[in-house]
Amino acid sequence: MKSRITPALAVILCACSAADPEPLLPPIEVVEHDLHPSVFITAFDLHVDPALVDSVRFAVRPRPGAQARPLGATYAIDALSVDGGTIVVPIFGLYADYANLVELTVTFTSGGSTTVPATVQAGAWVDAMGPYDELQVTRAVDPARRPDFSYIHLENETEQGPLIVDIDGYVRWAGLDDARRWPNFFDGERFVIGDEDAISFLALDGTKVRVPLVVEGFDAVLPHRAITFGPQGYLLSVDVRRTGEPYFEDAPVLIEVDEHGAVLNTWDLGQIIADHISAAGGDPSGLVRPDEEWFVLNSTLYSPEDDSLIVSSREHFVMKVGYTTKQIQWILGDETKHWYVNFPSLRALSLGSSDPKPIGQHALSFVDGDLLLFNNGEPSIRQPDDAPVGQRLPSSLAMIYAVDEVTMTAQVSWQYDAGYHADFCSSVYRAGGDYLLTYASLGDDLWRKRAVIQGIDEGGALLFELVVPESEGLCRPWNSKPVALEDLQFDG
């Protein structure tokens, strides 16, 4: 057993109404039931009549001096495992190598509730697959100005899979498995993970369900780089091997799947681009090259406002495509590149914009209807010989573009420059009024990089900074997102 409940609390406690000192509610016995190998996860057995319980909430109190808000979740009774008179309550988000104060609040069907405090000693954590047990805090959070988010999902490109750290620099959750664990996406309750030729759903309590993917017309489908919400399920960028072809190709292909792995829709973006060029009388073969990693689909957004997809090609541009029509609507990108210079039908769809334009960009998201992205400012690396590869910015930028489809323009409405140049990966997202930036690939050695993670406010003031030390690999992590773990709800 790696952790324990304080012995004095592993006793029968009387649940009393806050308004009445008499013991109106049933007694509760709390005993730790820890079967998970992770130091960040445990569980409690609550010995009480389940028929009398409406819900159970846990909260992990912050360490002294920490600024992250308490991590916690509420389970409806139907979301919990019940065995006779025992309710099993999963607990996650513990501080490693620390005596955690965990508060359990039991709410009864009668309307009354009681809170049981427990101290859980969690074991030390050693990161065997990366540098995350050596995170450095180079700018601590000022208690007078906490960010609007407390927890960060690190999309980690190793077998370990996703991690969660807090704004104080403490690792609070880490996956550990022997299968591929990238890409990974937190959907508000669990991680959705690219798992070889399948997707896995990995809950915060460590339980996992693996669902194989089968797509008509392809011998193999491998989730790669990005997962997000679609209108009906999850959007996955995938590497594929077409039926009868001997190689995996960067087609690129985007699929939408439900939680059972059923494919709801498919977009062959390479074919969409080739068809557009061909319809205008052009030859797409100089751009669409199925035997090369020519596109690099790294981010996708669904817009319910007009039923469209916005996709990011690291090698070329940001592109909007109709979800149903599968027709290109506009393109936003570096107009000194091959796609603009040599393909008039694509040039005609280019949004006029103030410089700088997206170059090697990542991490698309919406902010009040506008387009937020991380502008790496790194030229293309997989263009045909003698094709223009585009510009290189002196530093990478976080940018918001206001797109006007009537005038076919995209104007920069917000921009932040920390002076770092991250050639690959990286991200920016907003939560509340603040921003989380990740410079995922800093350093001159392509395969040995460090990462810098920053929180900033709207005006660019630095709220905190974490540094992931240099390690082997291109991007550790490749993308980071704010996640809300203060008040999770599990309804069963």
The reply to whether 205 falls in a domain is: no
Domain that holds residue 44: 7-122
Backbone angles phi, psi at 206, to 5 degrees: 95, -10
Q: Which of 6-15, 75-84, 180-189, 433-442 has the lowest mean pLDDT?
A: 6-15
pLDDT at position 247, please?
52
Structural domain contains residue 328: yes
Over the Cα atoms of the chain, what is R_g? 25
**Same domain as 221, residue 88:** no
Number of folded domains in the chain?
A: 2
Looking at 397, 417, 437, which one is the last position of a domain?
417
Residue 201 within a domain: no
Percent of the chain with pLDDT over 90: 77
Give the pLDDT of residue 57.
98
The reported pLDDT for the residue numbered 125 is 94
Residue 407 lies in a domain: yes
Tell whether the model's pLDDT for residue 138 goes beyond 50: yes
Measured CA distances, 187 to 99, 195, 196, 460, 481 (Å): 30, 16, 20, 28, 11
Q: What is the pLDDT of residue 416?
A: 98
Q: Are residues 269 and 379 in the same domain?
A: yes
| Rounded distance between C-alpha atoms, residue 164 and residue 61, angstroms | 16
Q: Among residues 104, 122, 140, which one ends one of the domains?
A: 122
CA angle 139, 449, 195 (to 5 degrees): 105
CA-to-CA distance for 41 and 140, rounded, in angstroms? 26
> Residue 11's pLDDT band (boundaries 50, 70, 90)?
very low
From 417, 447, 479, the end of a domain falls on 417
Other C-beta atoms closer than 10 Å to the C-beta of 154 total 29
97, 222: one domain = no
Q: Are residues 274 and 410 in the same domain?
A: yes
Q: Is the pLDDT of residue 4 over 50?
A: no
As a whole number, mean pLDDT of residues 339-345 equals 98
Q: Which residues are 404's β-sheet partners?
A: 409
387-422 pLDDT, tens digit per residue, is 999 999 999 999 999 999 999 999 999 999 999 999
Predicted pLDDT of residue 309: 98
Instruction: Decide if 35 is inside a domain.
Output: yes
* Average pLDDT value over all residues in the chain: 91
**pLDDT tens per residue across span 432-452:** 999 999 999 999 887 788 999
Least confident interval from 25-34, 67-76, 116-125, 162-171? 25-34
Q: Is residue 19 predicted with pLDDT exceeding 50?
A: no
- Answer yes or no: is 305 within a domain: yes
**For the ranges 205-219, 256-270, 325-339, 366-380, which has the lowest average pLDDT?**
205-219
Confidence of residue 2 (pLDDT cuts 50, 70, 90): very low
Least confident of 94-103, 217-226, 266-275, 393-402: 217-226
CATH number where 59 lies: 2.60.40.10
Would you say residue 248 has pLDDT above 60? no
Taking only the tens place, the pLDDT of each residue in 93-136 is 999 999 999 999 999 999 999 999 999 999 999 998 778 999 99
Q: Does the pLDDT value for residue 245 go beyond 90?
A: no
Q: How confident is the model at residue 454 (pLDDT cuts 50, 70, 90)?
A: very high
pLDDT at site 180: 56
Determine whether 208 is exposed, middle or buried from the number of CB atoms within 10 Å of its CB (0-12, 13-18, 19+): middle
Q: In whole angstroms, how far apart are CA 221 and each of 194, 230, 294?
A: 10, 18, 18
Predicted confidence at residue 1, as pLDDT, reads: 42
Q: What is the pLDDT of residue 178?
A: 54
Cα separation, 463 vs 456, in Å, equals 5
pLDDT at 332 over 70: yes
Q: Please give the model's pTM, rounded to 2 decimal places.
A: 0.94
CA distance 341 to 330: 16
- Can you read off the two tokens belonging to residue 12? 């029968």
Residue 453 in domain? no
The answer, yes or no, to whether the previous bond of 477 is cis (omega within 30 of 0) is: yes
Residue 180's CB: how many other CB atoms inside 10 A? 20
234 pLDDT exceeds 90? yes
Q: Is the model's pLDDT at 64 over the cut of 50?
A: yes
User: Per-residue pLDDT averaged across 65-70, rounded?
Assistant: 98
Give the range among 195-209, 267-281, 311-325 with minimum mean pLDDT: 195-209
pLDDT for residue 253 is more than 50? yes
pLDDT in tens, 161-195: 899 999 999 999 998 765 556 789 999 999 999 98
Any domain includes 297: yes
Instruction: Point out the least confidently predicted range of 10-19, 22-31, 361-370.
Output: 10-19
Q: What pLDDT was estimated at residue 249?
A: 57
